[in-house]
Amino acid sequence: MATDTSESTETAPSTDRLIGHQTVERLLGTSLYVVSGLLLLFLWVPLAIIIFLAFAENAVTIFPFEGFTLDNFRLAVSSDSMRASLAGSLTIATVAASVATVLGVLASFALTRYRFRLREVYRTFGIIPMVIPGIILGVALRIYFQNLLGILPGFATVVLAHSLYGFPFVLLIVSARMYTFDESLEEAARDLGADPITVFRDVTLPVIAPAVGAGFLFAWIRSFEDYIRALFLTGPNTDVLTIWMFSRIRQLDAPELNAVSALIVFGIAIALAVAMNVGNVTGYVAGTVTEEEE
Amino acid sequence: MATDEPDESTRARAVRLLSGPRSRLGVTVGPSAAWILTLLVAPLAFMVAVSFFEVSSLTYQIIYEPTLNNYRSLFDGGGAIWNTPFVTALWLSYVIATVTTVLCLTLAFPLAYLLARKGGRLFKLVIFFVLLPFFTMYLVRAYSWVLMFGPGGVINSTLMSWGLIDAPLGIFNYGIPAIIVGLTHAYFPYMLLTLYASLDGLDFSIIEAARDLGASRVEVLRDHVIPLTLPGIIGGSLFVFVPSVGAFITPTFLGQGKVQMIGMLIESRVAGTYSIGYASAASMFVLVSIVGAMILAFRYVSIEELGGA
């Protein structure tokens, strides 16, 4: 049956093959691990070097190594401009993510529970703020606020832009959760006489709460790390951490920047480790949350 | 139960609002629809309009007389059309974004496959180490590559101190290769997570069946794995390609003035001289090409299939 060109089975290796099936299998398996290991290395080496340099006397390169110090951290924490911009970014991210979460939860509810005209159009436009390049959204909003509405850039314009930017993340994560939600639970509550608000608070919200939290976190991070939208939409009285960092990096010699970056990596590592032990973070990120996994 | 319950009258009104089909749509869809209309549709429509108007270089006010001058200035550089800053930057952006996308796809596929096939502790650990850079500030990741590259950067200085090279290597200097590496590092997790999501839903018994029936690895990949995970491949490519085209931070840091991508060109015109007419016209080309890419992608996948991330 098997012609000489077709692959042979494990039990009867053909004579013209130099290496057996088992060996190929093992080699491929090993190379899959090797490639994956190298990839993790690629993802991690630059961050590891930042963390290393944050503790080093020399700010930019490893060699010649001059010894360890905590001065970089002291410098970072004592910088007034850094503290002001950090406070600004924390405020912007928190307000914008809260607005995005409220809008996103309401919208997810409508998308998964109601049928209405233009539903698909609404859904598509709801996702656009996430995929449209930041530079275009930033410039478009800047021109719109300044030239059409006569509003000068400042705190309000950044928050509005970031709340729009964060909205799709909440929408996708929460509506994915709502789709897998057993609607008969809500119906049962309604049949037993609960009004819509009670149903939402006592039945729906407890089930979707982890997704709402994940959506808020996503929107928050997106706002906190955004540079280009903030660049066009912030005013002289609103300091943003990314803008402060950007100007420092441009000068190419900023020892305290390594410390700030290292602190951010540590902070995110702790938050992520906690989140991964509490909920199914991978599922929310990759959009693979299903009823059984919850 | 809840201590901060609204008083009965407000509550009764809210309940009434949510009972009617029309008013409950207004409450749930209304706020976000208003946001989308006033903060997305209106600004983009205004940007289209601005691209057809002259902008006074003295007062920065828009002169509302239709003109094609903004579009003409994109292709007017005194020399050949393909030598204008706009055409060069747009072309370079497409090339860099395409290479980045292909690189991300080929790098992410093996890891996504491994993650989808294996589970358990190792899986959780690997996912943690992939997600951590993903959640780390974009700016920090771009900065980390600023330290790596350059004539005196970590790569060159390390190789030199080990005695492997005598002088800094050009490929590890700032420039296009550095930008591609930086962008790959930045958007790789999007590709990985999208691919993982679609490989995770794959029934691996199909692959085993095909293998048992004598299909080679290449055949299985070509005939089963790739067609079944096509939504993930297209979705992931879109999530890498689109932001790469409009990238700003990475090419600014890792090009160090030697390379100009389209996002940098638009930024410099607005931040420098507030040439919003030119910037709007240039943005139209980026928008149209992105919409084109998305329409092409949506012929193969629905927006739901694109899923999270």
For residue B72, count CB atoms less than 10 angstroms from its CB and return exposed for 0-12, middle for 13-18, buried for 19 or more.
exposed
Q: Which residues of chain A have pLDDT under 70?
A: 1-21, 58-67, 252-253, 276-294
Contacts of B114 in chain A (CB under 8 A): 32-33, 36
- Confidence check: pLDDT of B102 > 90: yes
Distance from CA of B67 to the nearest CA of A (A): 18
Q: For residues B203 and B212, give the distance between their C-alpha atoms in angstroms, rounded to a whole number.
A: 15
pLDDT tens readout for residues B280-302: 888 998 888 888 888 887 777 66
pLDDT score of B87 more than 60:
yes
Q: Select from A247, A86, A100, A234 the least CA-distant residue to A162.
A: A100
Hey, are the CB atoms on B129 and A44 less than 8 Å from each other?
yes
Average pLDDT value over all residues in chain B: 80
Instruction: Report pLDDT digits (tens) over A108-127.
Output: 888 887 777 787 788 888 88
CB atoms A143 and B47 under 8 Å = yes
Check whether the bond before A64 is cis (ω within 30° of 0): yes
Q: Give dist(CA B266, CA B271) in Å, integer.
A: 9
CA angle A27, A28, A34 (to 5 degrees): 85
Under an 8 A CB cutoff, do A47 and B141 touch?
yes
Give the percent of chain B with pLDDT over 70: 91
Q: Which of B40, B139, B248 sits opposite A245 (nearest CB)?
A: B139
User: Tell me, what's the pLDDT at A6?
Assistant: 42
A99-120 burial, b for 16+ CB within 10 Å, e for fewer? Answer: bbbbbbbbbbbbbbeeeeeeee
- Average of per-residue pLDDT across B29-52: 89
- A218-232 residues labelled b (16+ CB within 10 A) or e (exposed): bbbbbbbbbbbbbbb
The predicted pLDDT at position B101 comes to 93
Q: B97 pLDDT exceeds 90? A: yes
Out of A5-19, A120-134, B188-202, B206-220, which region has the weakest mean confidence (pLDDT)? A5-19
Type of residue numbered B106? T
User: Is residue B19 over pLDDT 60?
Assistant: yes
pLDDT digits (tens, 9 = 90+) for B65-75: 777 777 877 77
pLDDT at A61: 63
Distance CA B306, CA A208 (A): 21
Contacts of A41 (CB under 8 A, 6+ apart): none
For residue B141, the distance in angstroms to the closest alpha carbon of chain A comes to 7
Report which secondary-structure segment, H or E, holds B62: strand B62-66
- Here the ipTM equals 0.82
Q: Does pLDDT of B146 surpass 80?
A: yes
Query: Helix, strand, or coil here: A16?
Result: coil
Terminal-to-terminal C-alpha distance of chain B = 36
CA atoms within 13 A on the CB side of B283: 32
Residue B25 to residue A63, Cβ atoms within 8 A? no
Q: d(Cα B24, Cα A271) in Å, to the nearest integer?
A: 36
CA-only gyration radius of chain B, Å? 25
Choose from B4, B7, B24, B39 for mutation: most chain A CBs within 10 A.
Answer: B39
Give the pLDDT confidence score for residue B86 in this predicted structure: 84
The number of beta carbons lying within 10 Å of the beta carbon of residue B172 is 22
Per residue in B248-275, pLDDT (tens digit) is 888 988 888 888 888 888 988 888 888 8
